[in-house]
Amino acid sequence: MEDNSDTDSIASYEEIHSRRQDQGQQEGIGAFKLKEERNIERLRNLVLGDKETNTELPEGEVPDICYVLQYKGLGGRLHDVCRSRYPIDVPLAEGESLEQPPESKSVLEIITKVTTQVIRQGPPGARQPHPPPPPGNPYQGYYGDGPVGYDDDDKVEFKIANIEQTSMIINSPYLINALKAVVEYYPGNSGFLAETVTLNAPYRLIYHHLPALRYYSNHQPAAHDEEYASLTKKHINILLGYIQEKHGAQFGAEHQRHSSSPPKALFRNVWMLYKPGAVVYAKHENSNQWAPYIVARCSSGRNGECRVDCWNLTFSNETFVRTTETFYVDEFTDEAAISDLGVIPARFFCGEDGGESPAAVAERNIRLGRLTWELAKGPAYMTYDGNLVDSDSHSNRMSHMWQSPVNTAGYMSGRVVVDCEGFNRFGMGVPGPQTGYHPGQPRGPMVFPNGHPRPGMGGMPQHGNNGRHAPPPRDPLPSFGASCGCAACRQAERGVRPAVFGPEFESAEPVSDGAPTSDLYYLVLTKTVSGFILGERRWGHFNVRYLRDIQYDREAFKHLVLDEDIKRTIRALIGKFASDGQVTPWPKDFVKNKGQGRIFLLHGSPGVGKTATCESIAELAHRPLLSLTSGDLSTNSLTVEKSLEYFLQLGERYGAMVLLDEADVYLEARRARDLARNGLVSIFLRALEYYRGVLFLTTNRVRSFDAAFTSRIHVALHYKPLTDADRQKVWVNSFERLERDGGGRVHVSVATREYAYEARDVAALAWNGREIRNALQTAVALAETEALEDHGGHLRAVVKMSRGFKNFLRRRQGQEDDVEQADEESEDIELYD
């Protein structure tokens, strides 16, 4: 019984405590609301005062433009203070400064949001007002013993501390429909689907469409009746008049800067240059190439810089898709030339050197964009002469997750196969001992991003953890074009107007889809394609500007110094392999099952023309030549199979002639005790068994071949050592090629020719073809330091150096032979003892 009484007592205590707490909270809330009402009244009196223009709008009156002042209270809540037909003059507290951005007040309602400052007058050390409560509970901290803060209203000074934001509410359906008719693309707006439209200062959407609104005002659709057209024009003119009154001077001055020579801009107005949907030029961080982009949005960055989100079209997984970039224009003082900015509008961009017109730049990019589209359809055999595109700046961006085995930047001149789709399949697994990587191992992702801007102008995009921001989102493109939303226009059009960006801007496959018809599409299409560099056996990214059709050397085979019987045999065999220059894989019916590829063995001493024969045949057949060495394939039996399979697949894909130079290491006879060697030979035999295409093997050690290879070789050509007559032909051909390739800048004197043909010291060296080529290249290098003429003295200097080197080798070889003989005799003596 006693326990029950205790329990009841405890329950009664908690209930009484709860009621007292609730009562205290209600009293605190009531006091708080009373204080807020007093603050609003003080603010109304402070703003309206005795000014005639600051008069409260009578209830029920609806002017064309209504100005509203809102007060941000202690809890972060907004309260309407007053509504007026005139602009409300907001007096800031003394000592407070506000850097006014270019703002525009729009038709119907202009909302100004302010925060206040409460200063309690009293002796030093007096209790200061309590800080505002958190937004989640505006009354927290104000109940209990009553509201904490100022106690005596007569000792409180109430001031406006800051104008937080000015916004525009468009209530007119006529103006909203006019905006629907002129705004084609502006990510971030609501699409004007609601009954009212709210825009925040500085009303960039309105500014960027002022010319279109002026035109629309006087050229409305025929479906508008007289009354509708009149009201629409009136509301547009109200907006245009207000903009002209408040910001006409500012905008006019900026337009004069844009029209000056050279065009200039102020940083606070730089956003005017970047209208969403317009074309701009920017460049990647690791590239000096400017590229066209579409502006998606323009905003302020974290550190006050101007952030420009853009997109263009890049290749990913057999499809061209939109890829986003963010560029930054760093803050600058005074005026700056627009051409010095990191992001330049198309109408101000005059090419990389400033010597082209904007129209010429656009025309060139459209032409290159069409070439990109065609190259993306499939492999293309071309020549490249220019700087490669760094993998860090290549599309970012693209979905390719690939790291090059070597540096991908720098100048490159040579034959390439453009193969965007093949890059996705083969680019991640380039074999080679230079990287310690072999096919099948994973690779790290690319580190993206896009050049070096001029000092203070910014322009580079920043992505990832080391950048200023993550990549911008890819906003959906509008599904239909801009059109008035009134009932009469919808009925008259009876259909959806096409959007400025068609569906091909979201996704287009060059192989299966028809070519786009829009020049804008090709303008912003990437000018970078990926492909395989034949001479370096690696993948790279090419600027289509430096790609050219191949000019085949029709004289290469003719000038080949080779036995005439062998040349006739080669010419007869090569006819069926000839191509029209288009890259196509070897036909499937070319090989039935296995063992029906064409394998050529070229054997003979070094420098007699084996490699030159392969190069000449490839030129004659108009096919790529994929030249490999043991360094490309490795000699490790654990990895050579995948490496060999990788390159042979590329050879089949490109219809290329594959050359395995100095193939001795793979063709040597197997030995019972050398299991590694046996595995290497077996792997190579199996690859040859199923290879579909033309393969050349060169060697100077045919006697060491494994017997199993003889049944797999279709044509074996033996190259004899060069005779003196052969060497003279090589000299003649080399001199002719030198003068032809020199384009009239190089001349070989008669004295040089006679010395090469007749001098005994030259004949005594018995140079092979490769040594003659090297000697001539060295002589040309010496001539370039004096004049572009190769006289006898240059070639004599090379002959002298070569003769000295060969004499040294002979003496060295003789010494080594003597040492080896002495070692053998010493071993015999030790054994005898």
- Examine residue 519 and state whether it is found in any structural domain, yes or no: no
pLDDT for the residue 36 = 72
Asked if residue 661 and residue 689 are part of one domain, the reply reads yes
Asked if residue 147 and residue 224 are part of one domain, the reply reads no
pLDDT for the residue 467 = 45
Q: Are the beta carbons of 185 and 477 closer than 8 angstroms?
A: yes
Q: Give the integer Cα–Cα distance in Å for 61 and 59.
A: 6
- Examine residue 592 and state whether it is found in any structural domain, yes or no: yes
Strand, coil or helix: what is 414?
A: strand
> Is residue 732 over pLDDT 90?
no
Q: What would the DSSP string read from start to end of 635-702? A: S-TTTHHHHHHHHHHHHHHHTPEEEE-STHHHHBPP-SS-HHHHHHHHHHHHHHHH--SEEEEEES-G
Q: What would the DSSP string read from start to end of 186-240? A: -TTS--S-SSSEEEETT-HHHHHTHHHHHHHHHS--TTS-HHHHHHHHHHHHHHH
Is residue 289 very low, low, confident or very high in pLDDT (cuts 50, 70, 90)? confident
> Is residue 5 over pLDDT 70?
no
N-to-C CA span, the chain: 122
Q: Which two tokens stand for residue 337?
A: 């030339």
Q: Give the integer Cα–Cα distance in Å for 795 and 222.
A: 86
Is residue 451 very low, low, confident or very high in pLDDT (cuts 50, 70, 90)? very low
Q: Which region among 199-203, 280-284, 456-460, 501-505 has the lowest average model confidence (pLDDT)?
A: 456-460
Pairing of strands 380-387, 411-418: antiparallel
Instruction: Give the mean pLDDT of 17-41.
Output: 60
One-letter identity of residue 233: K
User: Pick from 719, 741, 767: which residue ends a domain?
Assistant: 719
Pairing of strands 306-316, 290-300: antiparallel
> Is residue 735 over pLDDT 90?
no
- Examine residue 542 and state whether it is found in any structural domain, yes or no: no
Q: Residues near 615 by Cβ (< 8 Å), separated by ≥ 6? A: 556, 625
> Is residue 190 over pLDDT 70?
no
**Closest to 349 measured CA to CA, from 282, 423, 411, 410:** 282
DSSP secondary-structure letter at 243?
H
Q: Are the beta carbons of 54 and 84 closer than 8 angstroms?
A: yes
The whole-angstrom distance between residue 250's C-alpha and the CA centroid of its chain comes to: 36
* Alpha helices (H) along 538-609: 564-574
Asked if residue 678 and residue 568 are part of one domain, the reply reads yes
Cite the beta strand spans of 463-527 per DSSP E.
507-508
Asked if residue 452 and residue 361 are part of one domain, the reply reads yes
pLDDT for the residue 542 = 95
Asked if residue 309 and residue 391 are part of one domain, the reply reads yes
Asked if residue 736 and residue 710 are part of one domain, the reply reads no
Q: Give the integer Cα–Cα distance in Å for 436 and 430.
A: 11
Pairing of strands 657-660, 625-628: parallel
pLDDT for the residue 16 = 35
Q: Give the integer Cα–Cα distance in Å for 477 and 503.
A: 9
**Highest-confidence range of 79-88, 502-511, 673-682, by mean pLDDT?**
502-511
Q: Residues near 274 by Cβ (< 8 Å), separated by ≥ 6? A: 280, 295, 298, 306, 308, 343, 345
Q: How many CB atoms lie within 10 A of CB 830?
A: 8
Is residue 819 very low, low, confident or very high in pLDDT (cuts 50, 70, 90)? very low
In this predicted model, which residue has the larger pLDDT, 64 or 499? 499
In this predicted model, which residue has the larger pLDDT, 777 or 702? 777
Asked if residue 102 and residue 89 are part of one domain, the reply reads yes
Asked if residue 176 and residue 192 are part of one domain, the reply reads yes
571 Rama class: left (phi>0) / alpha (psi -120 to 50) / beta: alpha
pLDDT for the residue 367 = 98
Q: How many CB atoms lie within 10 A of CB 457?
A: 20
Q: What would the DSSP string read from start to end of 335-386? A: EEEGGGSSSEEGGG---TTS-S-HHHHHHHHHHHHHHHHHHTTS-EEEEEEE
pLDDT, one tens digit per residue, over 604-623 is 888 888 999 999 999 988 99
- Examine residue 378 and state whether it is found in any structural domain, yes or no: yes
- Examine residue 158 and state whether it is found in any structural domain, yes or no: yes
pLDDT for the residue 794 = 67
Peptide bond just before 202 cis, omega within 30 deg = yes
Global pTM reads 0.76
Q: Give the integer Cα–Cα distance in Å for 562 and 610.
A: 9
Q: Which two tokens stand for residue 803?
A: 């003769």
Share of the chain above pLDDT 70, in %: 70
pLDDT, one tens digit per residue, over 540-584 is 999 999 999 999 988 888 888 888 888 888 888 777 777 666 676
Q: Domain containing 711 — which CATH number? A: 3.40.50.300
- Bridge partners (DSSP) listed for residue 114: 71, 163
One-letter identity of residue 605: S
Q: Give the integer Cα–Cα distance in Å for 182 and 484.
A: 8
- Examine residue 436 and state whether it is found in any structural domain, yes or no: yes
- Bridge partners (DSSP) listed for residue 715: 600
Ramachandran angles phi, psi of 319, nearest 5°: -140, 145
> Is residue 272 over pLDDT 80?
yes
Asked if residue 116 and residue 16 are part of one domain, the reply reads yes
Q: What would the DSSP string read from start to end of 271-292? A: GGG--TT-EEEEE-TT---EEE
Length of the chain: 833
- Bridge partners (DSSP) listed for residue 162: 115
> Is residue 797 over pLDDT 90?
no
Is residue 55 very low, low, confident or very high in pLDDT (cuts 50, 70, 90)? low
Number of structural domains, the chain? 5
Domain range for 196 is 172-259
Asked if residue 288 and residue 205 are part of one domain, the reply reads no
In this predicted model, which residue has the larger pLDDT, 691 or 438? 691
Peptide bond just before 262 cis, omega within 30 deg = yes
- Bridge partners (DSSP) listed for residue 335: 266
User: Pick from 490, 508, 524: which residue ends a domain?
Assistant: 490
User: Pick from 154, 171, 188: which residue ends a domain?
Assistant: 171
CA-to-CA separations, 58 to 49, 55, 112, 341, 390, in angstroms, rounded: 17, 9, 19, 51, 67
- Examine residue 518 and state whether it is found in any structural domain, yes or no: no
Cite the beta strand spans of 700-810 per DSSP E.
715-719, 747-748, 789-790
Is residue 637 very low, low, confident or very high in pLDDT (cuts 50, 70, 90)? confident
Asked if residue 190 and residue 125 are part of one domain, the reply reads no
- Examine residue 223 and state whether it is found in any structural domain, yes or no: yes
pLDDT, one tens digit per residue, over 673-695 is 767 677 778 888 888 877 888 89
Asked if residue 809 and residue 752 are part of one domain, the reply reads yes
Q: Residues near 418 by Cβ (< 8 Å), separated by ≥ 6? A: 375, 379, 380, 382, 529, 530, 531, 542, 547
One-letter identity of residue 256: Q
Q: Give the integer Cα–Cα distance in Å for 441 and 430.
A: 10
> Is residue 448 over pLDDT 50?
no
